Amino acid sequence: MAHVWQGVINEYKDRLPVTKQTEVITMGEGGTPLIQARALSELTGSTVWLKFEGMNPTGSFKDRGMTMAITKAKESGAKAVVCASTGNTSASAAAYAKQAGMRSAVLVPEGKISMGKMSQAVAHGADIIQIDGNFDNCLEVARKLSESYPVFLVNSVNPYRIEGQKTAAFEVVDTLGDAPDIHVLPVGNAGNITAYWKGYREYAQETPATSGETLPAVSTRTPAMWGFQAEGAAPLVLGHPVTEPETIATAIRIGNPASWDTAIAARDESGGLIDSVSDVEILEAHRWLSSREGVFVEPGSASGVAGLLKKARAGEVPRDATIVVTVTGHGLKDPQWAIKGAEAEDPTAAEPKRVAFDVVSVASALGLE
Ligand code: F0G
């Protein structure tokens, strides 16, 4: 029988902190497509793949960590979870909490999360608190709340989130047969770059399994990790926190990443880099992905591709390499940018032609002869 994907915990349980007794809370997350990026490959002279994380149940990579965090919250008897979020974590926490029969509270920066993400938290019945502040302020309150009240914190400062998210690196290796030369991704709170690096390292060495036996190395090498922040929210590039982060890519509008040290370690241990891209570059990459590769992502998700394009322009992308770029969230999360991007190229693009109910008129409108 064909293998039906069971979600990241069941697929990788030897490598995750669960036991046979653990009740797994899953919605079948992970197993996301690795898509060949033909235009990016042509441009760079390398083979470029897109790990399309928008294909997860709530439309972003957060589901990989959330299945793990909510499973452990449930195992510990928690009745409620809390998170700070720029939108995707809250959408995921709200959905997985429902699966587990738990309550969720989400703290979001007022006016700075996209409608798509907000609608998910609303739909799943989360208690939504808008904070008059940015993501970093929300996270500070969420942490304190979880220290003093009976709520389980499911931000990526919770190590179970990182454990779940590392499975994306496993999938890349399982699909390609080895690790790529370079792995590129957006960086915000820096949990994901931390998680990928952990996953790649574990797959490149013998690892003790949860069951006690020793798992052999799966890959022969680890990639260089290339992370990209938005220019107005690039604390890791500047080397100090940014008190008022600003970018149109609200997903990564973060000034003081919680996983700061582990992101720097991922960069340095892997021989990689963390750089920044402007909002204009992010929107260019967003448009590139939808109009040339057929992949629809939200703006923040395009910052890895923006970085790759920037490095390619500077002649800093090696040829004949294997490069994987994670695109972290679905375009339907924040669709307004697609319309704006298309209009910028062609003012009539977002205005579909109106034609009579008649095949000849439709053919003529399409320029068919
Ligand atoms: N891409 C998207 C679409 C995101 O939502 C985030 C983070 C990132 C990239 C950056 O990942 O934080 O692990 O470095 N979103 C968080 C949230 C902060 O609340 O949804 P990171």
Three-state DSSP class for residue 327:
strand
| Rounded CA separation 50/319 (Å) | 17
Three-state DSSP class for residue 48:
strand
92, 112, 153, 192: which to mutate for ligand 1, most atoms within 8 A of CB?
A: 192
Answer yes or no: are the C-beta atoms of 235 and 252 closer than 8 Å.
Answer: no
| Rounded CA separation 191/85 (Å) | 13
What is the per-residue pLDDT across 90-117, written as a single tens digit (0 to 9) for each?
Answer: 999 999 999 999 999 999 999 999 999 9
Query: Is the distance from the beta carbon of residue 299 to the nearest atom of ligand 1 less than 6 Å?
Result: no
Q: Given the structure tokens 């319309």, which residue do they identify?
A: 339
The mean pLDDT of the chain is: 96
Token digits of residue 323: 């490069």
Answer yes or no: are the C-beta atoms of 121 and 91 closer than 8 Å.
Answer: yes
Does residue 57 or residue 348 have the better pLDDT? 57
Q: Given the structure tokens 């690795």, which residue do they identify?
A: 34
**Which of 362, 227, 208, 358 is CA-nearest to residue 304?**
227
| Rounded CA separation 217/203 (Å) | 5
Q: How confident is the model at residue 347 (pLDDT cuts 50, 70, 90)?
A: confident
Q: Is the dihedral of CA 23, 159, 97, 57 positive or negative?
A: negative
Token digits of residue 346: 């062609």
Answer yes or no: are the C-beta atoms of 246 and 253 closer than 8 Å.
Answer: yes
Query: Is the distance from the beta carbon of residue 47 to the nearest atom of ligand 1 less than 6 Å?
Result: no
| Predicted pLDDT of residue 328 | 98
What is the per-residue pLDDT across 10-63, written as a single tens digit (0 to 9) for each?
Answer: 999 999 999 999 999 999 999 999 999 999 999 999 999 999 999 999 999 999
Q: Given the structure tokens 């375009």, which residue do they identify?
A: 331
66, 86, 131, 337: which to mutate for ligand 1, most atoms within 8 A of CB?
A: 86
C-alpha radius of gyration, the chain, whole number? 21
- Distance from residue 250's CA to the centre of ligand 1 (Å): 9
- Distance from residue 251's CA to the centre of ligand 1 (Å): 5
**Which of 287, 286, 290, 279 is CA-nearest to residue 345?**
287
What is the per-residue pLDDT across 242-280, written as a single tens digit (0 to 9) for each?
Answer: 999 999 999 999 999 999 999 999 999 999 999 999 999
What is the per-residue pLDDT across 165-204, written as a single tens digit (0 to 9) for each?
Answer: 999 999 999 999 999 999 999 999 999 999 999 999 999 9
Residue 351 reports pLDDT greater than 90: no
**Which of 303, 61, 84 is CA-nearest to residue 196?**
61
Return the ∠ at Cα 230 (arms to 227 and 235), rounded to 5°.
75
Query: Is the distance from the beta carbon of residue 290 to the nearest atom of ligand 1 less than 6 Å?
Result: no
Residue type, 319: R
Residue 349 reports pLDDT greater than 80: no
| This prediction's pTM | 0.97
